[in-house]
Amino acid sequence: MIWRHLRNTGLGCLAAAALLAGGMAQAQQKVVFATNWKAQGSHGGFYQAVADGTYKRYGLDVEIMQGGPQANPRPLMLTGKIDLMIPIGTIGMMDANKSKQPTILVGAFMQKDPTALMAHAGEYKNFADLRNAKTMYVAKASQFSFWQWMKARHGFSDEQYRPYNYAMAPFLADKKSVQQAYATAEPLYLAKDGVKTDVFLLADNGWEAYANLIEARRDMVEKNPELIQKFIDASAIGWYNYLYGDRKGAYALIRRDNPEMTDDKLDQEVAKLQELGMIDAGDALTKGIGALNLVRLNRYVDDMVKAGVFKPGDVDMKTLATDRFVNKGVGLDVRARLVKK
């Protein structure tokens, strides 16, 4: 009756908005969200949604728990101490699915995986030419993921492989060597020191993995889908505001969590994200940031089986991912407004 009366008055819309805003302010749902590494520009849209109040407007009180070399949020998520998390790549989520962990992918905030191969400038003509490199520094974990795919799909050899221990000194000492890199990290850091590199993105050579995936417990999808929907929608808007609007608030929160970052580093990373089409590209252009294509994901799973990373039947597509929370175009209006400016 109150709602009907308000609707029939000239102040109906304003009063309704006030009631909704007040209700949201009083009923903020706590969400603990774990990232996959230390706070950086690649997490910026999530920090933006905290900084500019987007999560709060959606009724969420989001705590971002940054990752790092010693962090292992998965056990905390399985016990309910973390609500949502970014897994260590698509392969990491596939491993979790293989071991029957009760989680599922609900969104993808990077349409391209930033994983790349980095060479000294001018040493190799293209990605295929990297097969002539005698030394390739690749992390141990990657030896059993994209390295297997590189061998099966592109003809690389184990004779080239050397373990990458996250120190760039060996790469710097050998001009002919090639190193695994994150396109938005190591090449930018080296450039700041005057070292020029060529970067070959795996995604530009058939690697269809997503990145910045959002993983949730399946019981949460079943019992509290509204919370997941709010988080996905608010995060998409946060990313549009971060990419095309004022990022200062997000930068401050990132620096608070990770003092190694500077505004200059973050500016360079955002520029690289945009240049390479990591986030607002592909399906995201028409379906909104966070878009997830299950056909593409299934194709990637098949590629990993062909490469020998997984055996047939290891990964169950029915429980690996759902697109019920994405592909709705949320935030496209925000993008249109910001890009016009």
pLDDT at 69: 81
Please state the length of the chain.
341
How high is the mean pLDDT in each 10-residue block of the chain (341 residues)?
A: 37 42 65 96 97 98 93 93 95 96 98 97 98 96 93 97 94 97 93 96 96 97 98 98 98 97 95 95 97 98 96 97 98 95 62
pLDDT at 38: 95
Closest CA to 147 of 311, 304, 269: 304
CATH classification of 115-203, choosing from 3.40.190.10, 3.30.70.1070, 3.90.110.10, 3.40.50.720?
3.40.190.10
CATH code of 2-113+209-340, in short, is 3.40.190.10
Is residue 131 exposed (0-12), middle (13-18) or buried (19+ Cβ within 10 Å)? middle
pLDDT at 341: 62
Given a contact cutoff of 8 angstroms between Cβ atoms, the answer to whether 92 and 211 are in contact is no
Residue written as tokens 């009756």? 1
Please state, in angstroms and rounded to a whole number, the distance separating the CA atoms of residues 25 and 153: 52
Q: Where are the domains of the chain?
A: 2-113+209-340, 115-203
How is residue 292 annotated by DSSP? -
* Helical (H) or strand (E) element with 12: helix 12-26
Q: Do domains 2-113+209-340 and 115-203 have the same CATH topology?
A: yes
* Diameter over CA atoms, the chain: 77
Sequence-separated (6 or more) residues with CB below 8 Å from residue 223: none
